[in-house]
Structures are given as structure tokens and as C-alpha cells.
Chain A
Amino acid sequence: MAVTTMAKALNAALRRALESDDRVLLMGEDIGKLGGVFRITDGLQKDFGESRVIDSPLAESGILGTAVGLAMRGFRPVVEIQFDGFVYPAFDQIVSQVAKHHARSSGATRMPITIRIPYGGGIGAVEHHSESPEAYFAHTAGLRVISPSNPFDAFVMLQQAVASDDPVVFLEPKRRYWDKGEVDVDADLASAMSPYRARILRDGTSATVACYGPMVRTCLEAATAAETDGVSLEVIDLRSVSPLDVPTVVASVRRTGRLVVVHEASVFLGVGAELAARVTEECFYSLEAPVLRVGGYHTPYPPSKLEEDYLPDLDRVLDAVDRALAF
């Protein structure tokens, strides 16, 4: 075990992926000498060469489109989209090609492409640098969508994503890049927990709080604060948005009777809406309160001076918990 940042854990995961499979390629803008704007690929081009760590022309559709061809040729492209808001030029390739090739070819062509996207807000950036596009991708059959919340998961889940024969949209909570945590650098992938399973990070009895990515830390802090008021929150890190580990959440709600779902993305037609529907369908009689959602608003991501007002924080999570408990 070593203590390191999520950024360094992701870098180590990419290094391991490049080392363990010579068909793994990295592609993206500024990922070579610069090491990416967040330095996630720092030093990798130097060590693995320009033909495996590829600085691409400035064209996201080009990056994803060529990744499809490379995958057809038997490579495993790991592409970096510089910021969440810049994935949309590639949306057509992702939704119409990457996601559908396997089904269209009746399983003949696999698309082992990992699409790394730093996402979410909280870093005081200008527009297009703070978005949470997970619902767009989760809405597309054929894509898996996962997001680590801590360095340990980042290290393991990224390698699992690269090893997957399905395309994986790998969402990196950029404001947690510099959070530190323990990472088992010798972790054996074979025995690691599936990236598509949720993890209960904190047991509780009063209500369940389900979250992922950047909101996990916020929800854990909320749980700590709630404890002083005698409220015991169970915090579930969903880790995966598609597939969604509904059974783990349902089992928890059967114990607590209440569910609050938290994400940065706007709540309308979001992950929380899906989870609310599933939970209602599967354990309606265990519910003591409606499933509540805390998330972004149905507005463009606001200018950074207002992002604190837009993003869910500890107080908004606790407000929802209070409303669930008061029901």
C-alpha cells in the first residue's frame, strides 16, 4: 500500500496497462510531452514512445473514429478527452459507432475502447470545463459508464476498464484528482471487485445516500456531520452508472427505508431518476419516504462564481436527508 493522489494512481494504472498489453495505446490532445493538461499521462510518452502514446490532431471525432478502426485492428485504445465539455464533437462516433459495433456485427467486432473524461465542477473553471455528461452516455446501450471516487478505485477501475472488451466511458472526478488515499500498487486485477458493483462505504440505519465520483467525499462528510445529530447514514458509492448496481441499493433501502441520490449532473432525467424508479419498483413497501434527489439544476453550468450555489454540498445533502426523515 502506498498513499498517493488520484492523478498519480491513474497514471500508474495507465503505465501498468501499457506494460501488461502491448496492444494498449493512449490517444489524446496534449497527452505526450505535456502529459495531459492534468498530467495524468505524465512521462508515459517518454517511456512507451510516440506510437503508443499518441498526441492527436485537435479533433475529438477524429480521436474516437480512429480508435474504432484501431480496435477493429486489434488494438485497445485508451483515449483522453481533455475536458467533459469537449467530448461532444465525438458524440456521434461514440453513440453511433463505438456503442453499436458489437451488436451490429453479432459479436464479431469488439470495441475495447476506454474513453477517459475528466468531469464535474468545483475547480473554478470557465464554461465547458465543469460538466457532468454521464446521463447522455448511460442512455446509450452498448456503453459502460463508470467513475471512481478515490485513488484506490481509480487505480483498479481504470485497469479494469482497459481490460474490458466493451467500450467504457471512464469519468474522472477532476476536482478529486489531488485527493490522497491508499493504493495497492500490486493489486491483482483478477481478484479485484467488479467495477460494476457498488460499494457500501459507511454503514447506517437512518437513510441510504447513494452517490458516485466527486460527490462521494461530499456525502461521506455529510454522514459524519449527521452522526453528531444522531442520524446514521449509509453511504453507497455506486462506482458504476451503467450498469447500475440496483441490488446493492435495494438491499440497503430495505434496511434503512429511505434513499437520497446525489450527483452533480442535473437531476432531470438523470441517474437519480433511474435509481428512484428502480428502487420504487423493487422495494416500494420498504420505503418510508419518497426517493429524493440532490443534484444540479436544469440550467447551463453557471459561471464559476456561482458554482458553489449550483453544486450539491454537505448542507444540501443533509437538507434532503432531513426531508426524507421528516416524511
Chain B
Amino acid sequence: MTADGGPELVQLLTPEGERVHHPEYDVDLTPEELRGLYRDLVLVRRIDAEATALQRQGELGLWAQLLGQEAAQVGSGRALRPDDYAFPTYREHGVAWTRGVQPLSLLGLFRGVTNGGWDPRERNFALYTIVIGDQCLHAVGYAMGIQRDGAEQAVICYFGDGATSQGDVNEAFVFSAVYNAPVVFFCQNNQWAISEPLERQTRIPLYQRAQGFGFPGIRVDGNDVLAVLAVTQAALAAAREGQGPTLIEAFTYRMGAHTTSDDPTRYRVAADLEAWKLKDPIERVKVHLARTGMADAAFFSSVEAEAEELAVHLRDGCRALPEPPPTSMFDHVYAEPHPLVSAERAEFERYHAQFAGGAS
């Protein structure tokens, strides 16, 4: 488990912005597509920074930052087709962006105005899952459904390095292998599960676990958007073609705190952070674009301006997010009427009406 990811790491763009080649994986992107990825990365980082700021200002109760993981999320998210389906954890704001989920709707859960935030069917993007690992089985089940419908679609399931210890995640590996389900397991190994380093979860590199379950595992430079795109595209294609699951380990680093409630200075050293800063996922794309002449200063400043606009939109929109009416907690508990819930709602209304009456 070398700190740099080792020789098995698939890379197409070095931290210095140099385009390199890999015997198995490649992408052939137009300059426009490359600029599009850069724009995604910058905007996603901006969404994250703005949400972090909103938490600091008390507008959000919590925020799970993705800082450092932009390429892993944008690269894998952009590999998906619209009819593929993604199952996120709570940190996949970048994937949400690539799916076209409104950034503002990501804030609701963290502001405490909803336990959901969007309709999963609209963008084939499941609701965030906070309980570690649960969604991996859902992803496999969804993939089993695709098989039964005879559809050419794939599912991608996101989870962290820490999650690989959970029973549900390992059961997901087993089910997907046994049924040859069209699912890609996308593990963002950001080296930490809150305060616990990778060594607390595994003795071997995570991608090697796949072999024991009977499907391929790949380790990709998670800070290289091109490599992530290439590797994920290949895995999704294999899934759609009936070749079953793949585990992708995106080797990256959590540059921020676990969440805004966390204080990483208690458990990790600044030196690691410094080393990973040099592998920034955005800087290398910028250097590459500039050096090859695929983008000019005007392009970069237009992306900056767009990011600024998006930040303003989030700031204003967050404060304006409607607070749910109190009785909404009784809505949708069941799909069909339930007498206990109805009775409690009536009692709730009776109780609050007393005060309304008293005040008038």
C-alpha cells in the first residue's frame, strides 16, 4: 500500500499535467470535452466550498466536503449514460452535478429541511445514504432488475475505503458476482474513514479484494479525471455487455475534514496533506489545457465567473429553501392510509391549535 498508489495505478494525466499512455485504458476527447471536464471540476469544487461556507455561517447543520475528490466524482459521473443508475453515499456532490441534480437540492438534507431532497427517478441518482455501505446492496438489486428487464444499462455504486469493512458491502460483492450483475463498484479510497487510516480496514490494496470475489479490480489515480473516465467507461461497458461487476478503487485523498464537525488535526499530520496538494485534480487539467493551447485565459476566467454565479445562486437559494410545515412529518410515512399516523396527526393538530387559539 504505497503512498503513491504503486505501479498498478492507472494514470493518463500526471500531476504535472502531462498526458501519458496506458496499454489498456485511454480516452479520446475533443478539446471541447476536455474543457467541459475542467469546468465540471471547478464548479463542483465551488459548490463544495460554498456549502462549507454556508455551514460555517450556520445555514447548514453539517456538510460533508468532497475537496480533493473532484476528479474521482466527475470522471466516473461523466462516464455514465443518462439511463445508467448511480447510488451515492453522502459525499457524492460531484456525481450529483454530472447527473444534473440541482446543486441546491443537495443542501436540503444538510440544512435539515428534508431527509431526501430529490426524486431519484428523475436523474437515476438515488438519495444519499448515510448508513455506511447500505446502498451497495441496493445497487446490486437494481442491477439484478436490469438483467431481468433485458436492458442494456449499468449501475454504479459509490462507497468509501472505510465502507469496505461492512458486511453489506461484502455481501454486495458476493451477490453481484453470483448473479453476474451489471454493476460497477466505485470505491473512493480517500485514505481515511473519519480518523481511521486505511490500515484499520485492510491489509491488501482494496482493488485486489475483487479477485477473491471473482471479478476484476482496478486501481486508478482518483485525482486524474481522464483515467477515472477511461476506467469507469470500460467497466460500465463491460457491465452493459453482460460481463458482470468490476471494482474500481479510485486512489485519492480527503483534503478536508471528514465533515464540518470533524477536527482532523487530532489524528493526521499536515505533511500528508502537503504531499497530496501537489497532486491536485484540477491543477493538472488546467496545466494540460493551457500547455496544449486547448484553452486560453478567457476560457479560464469565464469558468471562474460561472463558478461565482453558481456560488451566489447557492447562497441565496439555501437561505430561501422552504422550511417544511410541521405536519409534513406525518406525510408519506406509508403509501397507504395508516390509522395510527392519521390519529397522531390529528392529535398534533389539536395540540397546536390550542396555542393558535390562545394567541388570538
Contact = CB atoms under 8 A, between A and B. Distances in A.
A86 B333 contact: no
B211 interface: no
A261 B128 CA distance: 36
A55 B131 CA distance: 19
B107 to A, nearest CB: 12
Interface string B5-27: 00000000000000000000000
12 contacts: A29-B193, A30-B194, A34-B195, A55-B195, A55-B200, A58-B201, A85-B131, A126-B90, A297-B341, A299-B341, A300-B115, A304-B61
A305 B261 contact: no
A158 to B, nearest CB: 23
A303 interface: yes
Interface residues of A, number: 38
B130 interface: yes
Interface stretch (B285-293, B306-314, B324-332): B324-332
Interface string B93-127: 00000000000000011111111000000000000
B250 to A, nearest CB: 18
A34 B354 CA distance: 47
B304 interface: no
A34 B340 contact: no
Contacts of A85: 130-131
Contacts, number: 118
Interface stretch (B45-53, B79-87, B160-168): B160-168
Contacts of B133: 89
B148 interface: no
Nearest to B202: A57
A9 B63 CA distance: 30
A125 interface: yes
Nearest to A267: B344
Interface string A103-132: 000000000000000000000111110000
B132 interface: yes
B344 A303 contact: no
A307 B90 CA distance: 21
Contact of A58 (B196, B344, B354): B196
Interface in A82-116: 85-86, 88-89
Given A299-B330, A304-B61, 8 more contacts: A29-B193, A32-B196, A58-B162, A58-B166, A126-B109, A126-B130, A303-B108, A305-B111
